[in-house]
Amino acid sequence: MILEYSGILRRPNHPEHESLIDGASSDSRIIRLGGRLMLRSLASSEERKQCWRSNRDSSYQRYDIQQAARWIEQILPFSLLLLVVFIRQHLQGFFVTIWIAAVLFKSNDILRKQTALKGERKMSILVGITILFTLHVVGVYWWYRNEGVLYPLAMLPPKEIPPFWHVIFLIMLNDTMVRQAAMVLKCLLLIYYKNGRGPNYRRQGQMLTLVEYLLLLYRALLPTPVWYRFFLNKEYGSLFSSLTTGLYLTFKLTSVVEKVQSFIAALKALSRKEVHYGCYATTEQVVAAGDMCAICQEKMHAPILLRCKHIFCEDCVSEWFERERTCPLCRATVKPADLRSFGDGSTSLFFQLF
């Protein structure tokens, strides 16, 4: 339509073209209408080709996606069937896995709540959960006493090469139970530092962090003897087995070195007695600041002067720096970025499978 329109417009200005235009077909008329339009029509035919091509491509893609969806649709019921058979074959292991993982998650919650309670912890509850955790660990190991699950705890490889799913179960069981046992240790720490205020509260956080880093190091070592025995399978030739075992031990070494460094850093933090994000405030400074802690809204207890010149109780501010690195009032960065603290009583919930 644009072509027709411009053609009509041009006709009076260029009468010499008139006869040609009248006699020509519509296609040649486009050519006569000037270079610009000709190029445009050529470009549009090229575009049309490209458009057609991309349409074809996208329809091919759509076809591929449909095919893949149909394939998944067919394979899904079969894999569900396999899963049901797998669960039936390993029924006990399956339920034990769910049970101990659920207990671990719940215990982590309880422990964090008890740590957050500080001075209001009840001795009876602390002793009660300590006994419960211990009974759980002893009970599970007693149930599996004939399965050789205790060997890896002493870094001894299992006597015979275990099948793959047994390896996974063994590692998962030990990894969970070791964490549960460490929670008993943390409960004992909470009992020991029951009414800890000021420096004692900080010490409790440092001890909890140290226990957690020691646990992380031990857990990194725990799967090694099991995988060592699994990879050292001479069935596929001794060269292949020594190669895979060597590679595994190399991977392991790098991660263990990292864990050792974190543990040493946590140990060093323990020997550091002074508050590392400020100093104790003098009486004049406290009076000048109004002798009221902005966190607990009470009279200052063991007031600490931060680098940004704000003053808070030592307990309040150490609890704050468990999670934050900035001043609660002015948001200035006060605490240097260092080791992650586990002073809130939490335990890492990631499984260490290899």
Say how many C-beta atoms besides its own lie within 10 A of residue 128's C-beta. 12
> Tell me, what DSSP letter sits at residue 295?
T
Which of 257, 292, 330, 349 contacts Zn ion by CB under 5 A?
330
> Tell me, what DSSP letter sits at residue 275?
-
CA 275 – CA 205 distance, rounded (Å): 13
Cβ of residue 123: shortest distance to Zn ion, in angstroms?
Answer: 25
How many residues of this chain interact with Zn ion, rule: CB under 5 A? 10
Residue 175 or 314: which CB sits closer to Zn ion?
Answer: 314
Q: What residues contact 151, with CB distance under 8 A and at least 6 apart?
A: 157, 158, 159, 225
Residue 316 interacting with Zn ion (CB under 5 A)? yes
Three-state DSSP at 326 gives strand
Task: Tell me, residue by residue from 274 to 293, as one string, x for binding to Zn ion by CB under 5 A and - for no binding.
Answer: -------------------x
CA 57 – CA 315 distance, rounded (Å): 66
CA 331 – CA 343 distance, rounded (Å): 22
Three-state DSSP at 48 gives helix
Stretch that binds Zn ion, among 130-138, 196-204, 312-320, 339-347 (CB under 5 A): 312-320
Q: What residues contact 344, with CB distance under 8 A and at least 6 apart?
A: 112, 115, 116, 205, 208, 322, 323
Cβ of residue 115: shortest distance to Zn ion, in angstroms?
Answer: 18
Residue 81 interacting with Zn ion (CB under 5 A)? no
Question: HSE of 288 in the Cβ direction (CA atoms, 13 Å)?
Answer: 9
Residue 267 or 295: which CB sits closer to Zn ion?
Answer: 295
Which of 3, 21, 221, 329 contacts Zn ion by CB under 5 A?
329
Residue 147 or 344: which CB sits closer to Zn ion?
Answer: 344
Residue 223 or 303: which CB sits closer to Zn ion?
Answer: 303
Stretch that binds Zn ion, among 76-84, 94-102, 113-121, 325-333 (CB under 5 A): 325-333
The answer to whether 100 touches 176, Cβ cutoff 8 Å, is: yes
Cβ of residue 299: shortest distance to Zn ion, in angstroms?
Answer: 9
Say how many C-beta atoms besides its own lie within 10 A of residue 205's C-beta. 23
Stretch that binds Zn ion, among 82-90, 134-142, 274-282, 327-335 (CB under 5 A): 327-335
Which of 221, 256, 295, 339 contacts Zn ion by CB under 5 A?
295
Which of 93, 286, 313, 320 contacts Zn ion by CB under 5 A?
313
Show the tokens assigned to 134: 């211990």
Cβ of residue 293: shortest distance to Zn ion, in angstroms?
Answer: 3
The answer to whether 241 touches 233, Cβ cutoff 8 Å, is: yes
Q: What residues contact 351, with CB distance under 8 A and at least 6 apart?
A: 172, 175, 176
Cβ of residue 195: shortest distance to Zn ion, in angstroms?
Answer: 16
Stretch that binds Zn ion, among 84-92, 127-135, 260-268, 324-332 (CB under 5 A): 324-332
Stretch that binds Zn ion, among 94-102, 134-142, 215-223, 294-302 (CB under 5 A): 294-302
Show the tokens assigned to 218: 């031990």
Cβ of residue 201: shortest distance to Zn ion, in angstroms?
Answer: 12
Residue 232 or 308: which CB sits closer to Zn ion?
Answer: 308
Show the tokens assigned to 45: 């035919």
Q: Residue 317: which of 204, 198, 209 has the closest Cα?
A: 198
What is the phi/psi pair of residue 280, to 5°?
A: -70, 135
Residue 317 interacting with Zn ion (CB under 5 A)? no
Which of 296, 325, 351, 354 contacts Zn ion by CB under 5 A?
296
Stretch that binds Zn ion, among 42-50, 113-121, 193-201, 320-328 (CB under 5 A): 320-328
Stretch that binds Zn ion, among 95-103, 113-121, 271-279, 321-329 (CB under 5 A): 321-329
CA 206 – CA 214 distance, rounded (Å): 12
List of E strands, the chain: 278-280, 303-306, 311-313
Site for Zn ion, rule CB under 5 A: 293, 295-296, 308, 310, 313, 316, 327, 329-330
